[in-house]
Amino acid sequence: MIAISHDPDSGTLYWYFTDIIAGSTDGEGECDATLLLDEDGQIIGLELELDGSVSKSDLTFALGHPGVRYDPATYTLSIQLLEAADIDAQPISESAILDFDLVGMIQGAEIQPAKTFGLDTRLERLAPFMVNLDEAEDEGEGEAPIAPPAIPPAAEQAAPAAEPEKSIRSGFVALVGKPNVGKSTLLNAILGEKVAITSPKPQTTRIPMRGIYTRPDAQVIFVDTPGIHDPRTKLGSFMVDQARRAIPDADIICFVVDISEPPSRLDRKIAELMRRTRTPKLLVLNKVDLPTPKGQQNLEAYRALGTWDMELAVSATKQKGLDTLLDELVKRLPEGAQLFPDGQRTDQGSRERASELVREQVLRLTEQEVPHSVAVEVEEWEERGAAIYMRMTVYVEKESQKAILIGAKGAMLKQIGSRARTGIERMLGRAAYLDLWVKTRTNWRDDPSSLRWLGYTDKS
């Protein structure tokens, strides 16, 4: 059964399609929402206006409940829990926040109707669905949610610093922000190399990864985060863990926003989460290359979301403002040792990065048909003279997706392969032979052993 909980303090209503286990939420999104009311104005359901980036399998949890329907023509997820003689649909001005798990399935949604709506007086009929999650709430209130662990995990694995006496500035910078603001693009632009995959669809980044920028006087280790959430909410109270993982022992937090749009509810929530940490915070206004008539207004609105050590305007795609950003970051880093050797740009292995480059092309080239039900596994990786031979399997959930991926006479797969190979060769700095296969593994996203096998485990 769908579970609902209400936080009277913030006026938020949480709808859970599944039990949420600590650390299981991997990202979030936003969408328009409409409440369904009966003739007495009591809530009987909710409609969520999703978009084409959500596939039917992402709705597995939601569609498992009676009264939930999805209309792919309008991308509307309709949750009607109770009957009514007459249904009144009331759009909510604030967008709903959706939570996604590690493989992109929607776990739940939270909505916050305007105060004037009188949420507390409209919950009578939802009583059978109500759960109380107070115990989990406000854990560690007042204390910074992002506690720095004593030793950064990456430092343990890192090669010993070459010259112990060489003093430079070094440390961790977390790139935090809602999906699609350009965090991964920014990281790639800074490193001058593709280390994080990007796509116009949110939820592209699945694994938190580090990108390493080294110059003679400094080493900056960037953490590109897959998602972050307000740990004080009931739905998000389980996510303190996630936040800790997403911002591991950061020395500086960059709050990355899209200046071409005003702050949304998710921006505000992320900013609120950051307010409770004492780590220096920079406000990074990305996408300044876009025409933004309301730029000044947006800037003021973002500025008001917190106290910022500095504001910086950048364009990740046009590579504007990056040197200034780097200088400002380096200035604020502690003196320390070089944690990674010169020339190492990421903590991800080449194989993992190569498979991510393939997954990226699948996401880019297949549009909405084969969205997030894709996993790529490296089956073989072998030196062959000056080149590297690699065989990878792209796993999809359905025969129909497999057909799309392969395309007429194999044309689609060929295109995916050749584009991915270009990126892989650039990354490796040498020639690569890429042998791509497509296999169907039914419901891999539902099967814990498949998930483990494909590497989607909680690595923390």
| Interacting residues toward Mg ion by CB under 5 A | 184, 205
Residue of 94, 289, 352, 446 interacting with ligand GDP (CB under 6 A): 289
Q: Which does 355 bind (CB under 5 to 8 A by kind): Mg ion, ligand GDP, none?
A: none
Q: Which is nearer to ligand GDP, 47 or 224 (by Cβ)? A: 224
DSSP SS3 for 89: strand
290 binds, among ligand GDP, Mg ion, none (CB under 5 to 8 A by kind): ligand GDP
Binding to ligand GDP, residues 85-124 (CB under 6 A) = none
- What is the separation, in whole angstroms, between the first and last Cα of the chain? 30
Among 53, 95, 205, 279, binds ligand GDP (CB under 6 A): 205
- Considering the complex, state which of residue 249 and residue 360 has its C-beta at the smaller distance from Mg ion: 360
Q: Which is nearer to Mg ion, 47 or 58 (CB)?
A: 58
CA distance linking residue 231 with residue 226, whole number of Å:
15
Among Mg ion, ligand GDP, none, residue 315 binds (CB under 5-8 Å by kind) = ligand GDP
On the CB side of 408, how many CA atoms lie within 13 Å of its CA? Answer: 0
CB of 224 to Mg ion, least distance (A): 6
Task: Give 95 or 184: the residue with its C-beta nearer to Mg ion.
Answer: 184
Q: Which of 5, 242, 286, 338 binds ligand GDP (CB under 6 A)?
A: 286
Query: How far apart, in whole angstroms, are the C-alpha atoms of residue 165 and residue 167?
Result: 6
Q: Report how far residue 106's alpha carbon sits from residue 453's, in angstroms, rounded to the nearest whole number.
A: 22
Alpha helices in 82-129 (DSSP H): none
Min CB(432)–ligand GDP separation in Å:
24
Q: Which is nearer to ligand GDP, 152 or 182 (CB)?
A: 182
How far apart are alpha carbons 83 and 88 in whole angstroms? 12
Cβ distance to Mg ion smaller for residue 110 or 224: 224
List the one residue from 182, 231, 280, 423 that touches ligand GDP (CB under 6 A). 182
- Strands (E) across 177-240 are located at 209-215, 218-224
Contacts of 229 (CB under 8 A, 6+ apart): 25, 28, 99, 236, 239, 242, 243, 269, 270, 273
Question: Phi first, then psi: what are they for 135, rounded to 5°?
Answer: -60, -35
Chosen from Mg ion, ligand GDP, none, partner binding at 361 (C-beta under 5 to 8 Å by type): none
Residue 279 found at the interface with ligand GDP (CB under 6 A):
no
Query: In the set 18, 112, 185, 373, which binds ligand GDP (CB under 6 A)?
Result: 185
CB 97 within 8 A of CB 228: no
Contact with ligand GDP (CB under 6 A) among 104, 179, 231, 371: 179
- Please give the size of the binding site for ligand GDP, defined by CB under 6 A: 21
Q: How many CA atoms lie within 13 A of 304 on its CB side?
A: 9
- If you ran DSSP here, which 8-state letter would residue 183 be given? H
DSSP letter for 280, please.
-
CB 288 to ligand GDP: min, Å: 7
Q: Of all helices (H) and strands (E), which one includes residue 266?
A: helix 265-275
Least distance CB 186 / ligand GDP (angstroms): 6
Binding mask 291-320 for ligand GDP (x = CB under 6 A): ------------------------xxx---
Sign of torsion over alpha carbons 451, 453, 456, 459: positive
Instruction: Select from 50, 51, 100 the least CA-distant residue to 77.
Output: 50
Minimum distance from residue 207 beta carbon to ligand GDP (Å): 13
DSSP 2-51: -EEEEETTTTEEEEESS---TT-EEEEEEEEEEEEE-TTS-EEEEEEE--
- Kindly give, in sequence order, each residue whose CB lies less than 8 Å from that of residue 352, ignoring residues fewer than 6 positions away: 207, 378
Q: Pick from 6, 125, 287, 421 the residue near ligand GDP by CB under 6 A.
A: 287
Residue 208 in contact with ligand GDP, rule: CB under 6 A? no
**Between β-strands 106-111 and 88-101, what pairing exists: parallel, antiparallel or unpaired?**
antiparallel
The option from ligand GDP, Mg ion, none interacting with 346 (CB < 5 to 8 A, set by class) reads none
At 448, list the tokens.
Answer: 């814990």
Residue 164's binding partner out of Mg ion, ligand GDP, none, with CB under 5 to 8 Å set by partner kind:
none
DSSP strand pairing (432-440 vs 76-80): unpaired
Least CB distance from residue 455 to ligand GDP, whole Å?
Answer: 20
- Per CB under 6 A, which region of 131-139, 155-163, 183-191, 336-344 contacts ligand GDP? 183-191
Q: Which of 5, 24, 107, 184 binds ligand GDP (CB under 6 A)?
A: 184
Smallest distance from ligand GDP to CB 148, Å:
24
Q: Examine residue 181 and tell whether it contacts ligand GDP (CB under 6 A).
A: yes
183 vs 232 by CB, closer to ligand GDP? 183
Site residues, ligand GDP (CB under 6 A): 177, 179-185, 198-200, 202, 204-205, 286-287, 289-290, 315-317
